[in-house]
């Protein structure tokens, strides 16, 4: 086989492949065997008709088509290996010549992982907020704990923010009742903002038995983006009474004997939360600086695939009705053109992030521990309300375990960047985040095959109980809510598999939809 490669652009190549028919003999043997089993020829048992009879009865073209369909993908893979390129997505293949008994020739155009220079991330310096816990923070945490043990008492006065009310709701659009917006006896905390816009403002000052109308824009359902006239009736008003913050409450709400001990524990716990928030902020700002410094050519087919995924997700929320999506976008003060432009910008940023982190992972030799992969799988399983075993099975069926691995690997790559960057607080002092991200050079792990094999084997054991997300450190902070490679939550269109000769475009949002 002979092959040549032509670089059409920094992100796309054209392979020209020529295969002598001598190399196709095994393909012809398999083709004749397969065809013989599929047809019935008088005088021959199924699968026993010789090649010359098949050629006579069916024509040589049938056999050549079978050979080409089998041989071209395999020879394409060989050509990719010889050219030492890393394809992204499926190739556009064109058979250019078939000379029976002589040669088979075809071309393949495909987007490839581009070559680019990784910025010196050791020179990145960012500032993050302080992680100190104030007395006010502790008091706020204590009030939250008190609220969990509070009691609701009916009051005979106008509604105030923080009250709990039982209400009836109904809505109309252009005089037509909206069935999904009708409800009675609904409990609601005033000021929580958990229901429709404008409701809390309407409720404040109302009394039990009173009805009020107000106008709001619907954000979901068949009338998303349209103005609706809403009627709300207050049935009851209750206020929450908090227990006294004293030693007795500490004993009721915790394992501690005194309020001071409880406050110390709340301070310690909240300090961990603040540190995680500081780590997340450092991660985001370091990634932003890294992307700003990097010049990464973007494969158009991968970007377009990401755009299509995001567009599908957006319209899916409106039952695939483009008009409803447009109405909603406009209700948020944005034109559809602006929305589409922003969607593409975010897709480009996602692909750039993935390519950059994959390259950093390759250069740093980043691998993934089986435990890290299992932690991600269990987090995702918990997020979607399925067992880890079921999540693994679904990911295997969708051929997307590699995408899960890729996201974890990118998270570790980002951690290596944060490790090398300079992180300072508001006072200019350097912030130590080694507890969250490890120390520079800590990239040991397993190969993808080892990690995936172990994760699959232990899926059933993992189903016994997910790990506590609060116990994880570097991987979770670097991963940014289960999509490490992109603050805009990319759909893992570019899969990274260390040592693999080729890479493919993953199914839409494969990591999070398995």
What would the pLDDT profile of 47-72 be if each residue is shown by its tens digit? Answer: 777 777 887 778 888 888 888 999 99
Q: Tokens 């058979």 — which residue?
A: 95
Lowest mean pLDDT among 37-46, 156-165, 266-275, 400-409: 37-46
Lowest mean pLDDT among 159-163, 223-227, 320-324, 502-506: 502-506
pLDDT of residue 100: 82
Average pLDDT over residues 326-355: 93
**pLDDT band at residue 507 using 50, 70 and 90 as cut-offs:** very low
Is residue 500's pLDDT more than 60? no
3-class SS of residue 432? coil
Q: Tell me what percent of the residues of the chain surpass a pLDDT of 90.
A: 58
Lowest mean pLDDT among 32-46, 69-83, 308-322: 32-46
**pLDDT band at residue 440 using 50, 70 and 90 as cut-offs:** low
Residues in contact with 468: Cβ distance below 8 Å, sequence separation at least 6, in sequence order: none
Question: Across the chain, how many H-helices and E-strands are there?
Answer: 18, 12
User: Rounded to 10 degrees, what is the CA torsion of 439, 444, 448, 449?
Assistant: -160
Cα–Cα dist 55/41, whole Å? 12
Cα–Cα dist 210/206, whole Å? 6
**pLDDT band at residue 257 using 50, 70 and 90 as cut-offs:** very high
Alpha carbon 69 to chain centroid, angstroms: 34
Is residue 514's pLDDT more than 60? no
Average pLDDT over residues 311-334: 89
Average model confidence (pLDDT) across the chain: 83
Axis-axis angle for helices 388-397, 401-420 (nearest 10): 110
**pLDDT band at residue 454 using 50, 70 and 90 as cut-offs:** low
Is residue 331's pLDDT more than 80? yes
> Checking DSSP bridges between strand 422-424 and strand 103-112, what pairing results, if any?
unpaired
Is residue 483's pLDDT more than 90? no
Axis-axis angle for helices 259-293, 336-364 (nearest 10): 90
Which residue intervals of 240-335 are DSSP H helices? 247-253, 259-293, 300-316, 322-331
DSSP 8-state secondary structure symbol assigned to residue 430: B
Is residue 494's pLDDT more than 50? no
pLDDT of residue 474: 46
Asked if residues 422 and 378 have their Cβ atoms less than 8 Å apart, the reply is no
Is residue 219's pLDDT more than 70? yes
Asked if residues 72 and 93 have their Cβ atoms less than 8 Å apart, the reply is yes
Is residue 103's pLDDT more than 70? yes
Q: How far is CA 323 from CA 187, 218, 337, in A?
A: 33, 14, 13
pLDDT of residue 472: 41
Asked if residues 163 and 241 have their Cβ atoms less than 8 Å apart, the reply is no
- Comparing 36 with 457, which gets the higher pLDDT? 36
Helix (H) or strand (E) holding 212: strand 211-217
pLDDT of residue 198: 92
């Amino acid at each position: 086989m002979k092959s040549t490669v032509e670089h059409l652009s920094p992100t796309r190549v054209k392979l020209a492949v020529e295969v002598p028919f001598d190399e196709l003999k095994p393909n012809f043997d398999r083709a004749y065997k397969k065809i013989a089993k599929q047809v019935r020829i008088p005088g021959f048992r199924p699968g026993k008709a010789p090649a010359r009879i098949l050629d006579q009865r069916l024509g040589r073209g049938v056999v050549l088509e079978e050979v080409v369909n089998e041989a071209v993908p395999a020879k394409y893979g060989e050509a990719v290996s010889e050219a030492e390129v890393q394809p992204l997505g499926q190739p556009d293949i064109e058979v250019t010549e078939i000379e029976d008994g002589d040669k088979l020739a075809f071309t393949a155009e495909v987007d490839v992982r581009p070559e680019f220079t990784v910025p010196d991330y050791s020179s990145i310096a960012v500032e993050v907020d302080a992680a100190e816990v104030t007395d006010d923070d502790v008091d706020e945490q204590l009030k939250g704990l008190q609220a969990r043990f509070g009691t609701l008492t009916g009051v005979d006065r106008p509604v105030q923010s923080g009250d709990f009310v039982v209400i009836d709701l109904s809505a109309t659009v252009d005089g037509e009742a909206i069935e999904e917006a009708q409800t009675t006896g609904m409990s609601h905390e005033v000021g929580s903002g958990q229901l429709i816009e404008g409701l809390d403002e309407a409720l404040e000052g109302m009394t039990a038995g009173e009805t009020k109308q107000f106008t709001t824009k619907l954000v979901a359902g068949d009338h998303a983006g349209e103005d609706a006239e809403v009627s709300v009736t207050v049935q009851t008003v209750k206020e929450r009474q908090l227990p006294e913050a004293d030693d007795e409450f500490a004993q009721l709400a915790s394992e501690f004997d005194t309020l001071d001990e409880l406050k110390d524990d709340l301070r310690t716990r909240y300090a961990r939360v603040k540190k995680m928030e500081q780590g997340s902020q450092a991660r985001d700002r370091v990634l932003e600086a890294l992307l700003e410094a990097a010049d990464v050519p973007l494969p158009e087919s991968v970007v377009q695939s990401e755009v299509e995924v995001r567009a599908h997700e957006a319209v899916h929320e409106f039952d695939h009705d483009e008009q409803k999506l447009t109405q909603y976008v406009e209700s948020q003060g944005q034109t559809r053109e602006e929305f589409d432009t922003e969607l593409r910008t975010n897709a480009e940023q996602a692909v750039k992030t993935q390519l950059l982190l994959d390259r950093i992972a390759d250069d740093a030799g980043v691998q993934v521990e089986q435990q890290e992969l299992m932690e991600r799988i269990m987090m995702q399983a918990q997020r979607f309300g399925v067992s880890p075993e079921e999540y693994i099975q679904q990911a295997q069926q969708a051929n997307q375990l590699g995408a899960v691995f890729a996201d974890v690997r990118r998270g570790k790559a980002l951690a290596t960047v944060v490790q090398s960057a300079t992180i300072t607080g508001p006072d200019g002092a350097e912030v130590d985040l080694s507890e969250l991200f490890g120390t520079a050079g800590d990239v040991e792990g397993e190969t993808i095959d080892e990690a995936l094999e172990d994760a699959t084997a232990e899926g059933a054991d993992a189903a016994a109980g997910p790990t506590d997300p609060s116990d994880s450190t570097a991987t979770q902070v670097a991963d940014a809510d289960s999509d490490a490679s992109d603050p805009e939550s990319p759909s893992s269109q570019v899969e990274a598999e260390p040592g693999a000769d080729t890479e493919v475009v993953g199914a839409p949002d494969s990591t999070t939809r398995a």
